[in-house]
Structure 1
Amino acid sequence: MPPEPRRGAEESLRSSRRVRPHDKRLPRRAAAGRRSFASTLAALDELAESGAKVAVRVTDLDRGDPVLVGDDFITLPIGGLGVVPLLVEVAAAFEDGRLDPAEIVDRGTTAGVSVAGVWHHLSAQVFSLGDLAVLAAATGDALAANVLLERVGLEAVRNRLGALGMPRTALLDGFRDTRGPDDAPHVALGTAAELSELFSALVNSTAVNPSVSAQVAEWLSLNHDLSLVASATGLDPFSHENDEHGLLFINKTGRGAGIRSEAGVLAGPRAGVSYALIVCFDDLSIMHRMRAHSAFRVLGTDLMEYVY
């Protein structure tokens, strides 16, 4: 990976906060949206001061400008959020014929893993590759993601990340119930800036091409995990593709020991944003964990005020 950009002596989230000025006067709703992130900044500063590593990026989709930025260039562990570039490569392979979405796969041919998902609980032994993509996106199914990774190959995903302009994001390994000294320390690493931009590309139909972007966005729209940022949307976790109140939402979360991450797109009647938030913290107690979760939910509330 390229070296991280050099920084000054101050490294706190507060010192990294920057919002680029604009030459022209902002519309009233945009200015109001900018002011509304004070609660998020306070919550993230509290986390940073407690020793957590925090990175955040929120970009206005209409203007393409960041409205909230904090240490968004720093590469951090992102857990299952690394499945998103895998899904991009799988969708591209379906389109160009390298993989057949109807190909049937037997889970007995892959090493078992039970850290997340539902396939290992089901009596169904076989699924198509297309079904596995849905399972990986909708339920964070670790076994489904591992099968897809075996079929496309880790090198292909790395090459795809390069083509997407994401040099500081990497899928390092599949999911494992336990990680030994010879295994990669994390499933994936990434930056808030690159993950936010990837979701912008998906909804703007520029991630590979329009059809691949649409396929990945469709898979991600099925995601059931609305417990972090998305908890503020009021959407039904099990059916939110066509919201009656005009919200467009896709997201993916990542979890691990002391790791919480989420990236997505939220669009409402007044504005649309792409966002990414990564928090790495000492998971010493349930209160430490809840404090991290609370920061995600505060961001979700501020995002809703911005777009709705």
Structure 2
Amino acid sequence: MTAADSPEPQPPLSRRRAAPGAAPIPDAAPEFRRRPPARAGGRRDAPLRRSRRVVDGRRAFAASTRALDELAAAGAQVSVRVVDLDRGTDILAGDDHLILPVGGMGVVALLIETAAQFETGALDPLAIVERSSVEPVEVAGLWRHLKAPALPVCDLAVLTAATGDAIAANALLSRVGLDAVRERLERIGLVRTALLDGFRDRRGPDDAPHVSLASTGELATLFAALVNAQVVSPAVSAQVSEWLSLNTDLSLVAAASGLDPFAHDDDRHQLLFVNKTGRADGVRSEAGVLAGPRAGVAYALTVCFDDLSISHRLRAHEAFRLLGVDLMEYIH
């Protein structure tokens, strides 16, 4: 959503209607409960649900729910889902059926197909890819600042996961193929998630309007399935999870974790963390898994907002941070 097409202020998530006839979200992992379908007329029984678990004497997720309701009331589109990994039940859910732009989040699908092709031998991890083989872009990444004119495919996957490197992702996509990524998403049962295009500095009328789209319901389910070794195969799930564990963007939900952005794969406080973020103009999205001594969760949050000023952006970022605080209280 952009500033030009922002909706009028919306009611709190707890009173929001689902789209008429919205279908239930398919589960990539069978142990997660399917969301109830909309009733006739489009109303769900409880678009926003919180667990009854009490954390430190308070009902869980009160702060983040309040912040997200305030964003929605101000005109932002908010979609969220949090799942307890042990019980497979929803802790928090609101409008998680909505398909929204999620920036570079779509590279998770690209990484899944890359790992799958490594496993079958269809793609050589050490095959060299020239940087000059793709159009230069300046939206994000490190490779454009490096002297190395070529890298192996496996290193492109690392750059894509760790830094959201746009050139590396585009080069990887040119080798893997967009059609193969789309077919992979269909095979693993994701019908509300799509990688539409590579990264571009500018999007013309003939280009896809976004890099990727997704629902938070599917993103949370996908990350839960990844850490449970249920995406394609255990080896593919492990490889993708390893790549994503290198992600250095801990500025949204993960800002509350206290983890080192550059070295958080073996935290001394028994935190397991895997995530991916997506950013575009007026779009912030994050999905991941956070586990601690007491519990583990899979989560996804997308906010589409009017990026009219730094205060608008900071208000959206604060909602992500508050969700992170609530997640930390739940799992630790």
TM range (shorter): over 0.9
Q: Is residue 16 from structure 1 mapped to residue 52 from structure 2 by the alignment?
A: no
Q: Is residue 68 from structure 1 mapped to residue 92 from structure 2 by the alignment?
A: yes
- Aligned mate of 2:323, from 292, 296, 299: 299
- Aligned mate of 2:172, from 130, 148, 151: 148
- Aligned mate of 1:192, from 216, 219, 237: 216
Q: What's the counterpart of residue 34 of structure 2?
A: none
Backbone CA RMSD of aligned residues: 1.9
Match of 2:201, SS state, is coil
Identity of aligned residues (%): 63
Tell me: CA distance 1:11–1:77, structure 2 relative to 1, closer, same or farther (3 Å).
farther
Q: What's the counterpart of residue 153 of structure 2?
A: 129
Offset at residue 32 of structure 1 (A): 3.2
Question: Residue by residue, what CA displacement relative to the aligned partner does 1:231-275 show, whole Å, maximum 9, x if unpaired?
Answer: 000000000000011000000000000000000000000000000
Higher helix share: 1
User: Which residue identity lines up with residue 187 of structure 1 in the other structure?
Assistant: V
Q: Is residue 38 from structure 1 mapped to residue 62 from structure 2 by the alignment?
A: yes
Q: What's the counterpart of residue 81 of structure 1?
A: 105
Offset at residue 73 of structure 1 (A): 0.5
Q: Is residue 253 from structure 1 mapped to residue 284 from structure 2 by the alignment?
A: no
More off after superposition, 32-41 vs 271-280: 32-41
- Aligned mate of 1:102, from 116, 123, 126: 126
Q: What's the counterpart of residue 203 of structure 1?
A: 227
Offset at residue 31 of structure 1 (A): 4.0
Distance 1:4 1:223 in 2: 33
Question: Residue by residue, what CA displacement relative to the aligned partner does 1:138-163 show, whole Å, maximum 9, x if unpaired?
Answer: 00001111111111111111111111
- Aligned mate of 2:264, from 240, 244, 259: 240
Q: How many residues align?
A: 297
Match of 2:49, SS state, is coil
- Aligned mate of 2:192, from 136, 157, 168: 168
Offset at residue 18 of structure 1 (A): 2.5
Q: Is residue 217 from structure 1 mapped to residue 241 from structure 2 by the alignment?
A: yes
Distance 2:43 2:102 in 1: 20
Contact 2:22 2:42 in 1 (8 A): no
Match of 2:55, SS state, is helix
- Aligned mate of 1:289, from 313, 320, 326: 313
User: Which residue identity lines up with residue 218 of structure 1 in the other structure?
Assistant: E
Offset at residue 17 of structure 1 (A): 0.9
User: Which residue identity lines up with residue 18 of structure 1 in the other structure?
Assistant: R
Match of 1:251, SS state, is strand
Tell me: CA distance 1:7–1:295, structure 2 relative to 1, closer, same or farther (3 Å).
farther
Distance 2:290 2:238 in 1: 16
Q: What's the counterpart of residue 252 of structure 2?
A: 228
Tell me: CA distance 1:173–1:11, structure 2 relative to 1, closer, same or farther (3 Å).
farther
Distance 1:294 1:7 in 2: 33
Question: Residue by residue, what CA displacement relative to the aligned partner does 1:29-63 show, whole Å, maximum 9, x if unpaired?
Answer: x4438922010110000000000000000000000
Match of 1:16, SS state, is coil
Distance 1:195 1:226 in 2: 18
Superposed counterparts of 1:264-279, under 5 Å: 264-279=288-303
Offset at residue 7 of structure 1 (A): 7.0
Question: Residue by residue, what CA displacement relative to the aligned partner does 1:167-214 show, whole Å, maximum 9, x if unpaired?
Answer: 011000000000001100000000000000110011000011100000
User: Which residue identity lines up with residue 47 of structure 2 in the other structure?
Assistant: S
Distance 1:35 1:59 in 2: 16
Distance 1:10 1:217 in 2: 36
Distance 1:183 1:124 in 2: 29
Contact 2:127 2:152 in 1 (8 A): yes
Tell me: CA distance 1:8–1:123, structure 2 relative to 1, closer, same or farther (3 Å).
farther
Offset at residue 9 of structure 1 (A): 7.5
Structure 1 length normalisation: TM-score?
0.92
Distance 2:59 2:231 in 1: 31
Extract unaligned runs of 5+ from structure 2: 1-20, 24-37
Contact 2:113 2:176 in 1 (8 A): yes
Offset at residue 8 of structure 1 (A): 7.8
Match of 2:75, SS state, is coil
Tell me: CA distance 1:128–1:261, structure 2 relative to 1, closer, same or farther (3 Å).
same
Tell me: CA distance 1:120–1:223, structure 2 relative to 1, closer, same or farther (3 Å).
same
Tell me: CA distance 1:190–1:248, structure 2 relative to 1, closer, same or farther (3 Å).
same
Offset at residue 114 of structure 1 (A): 1.3
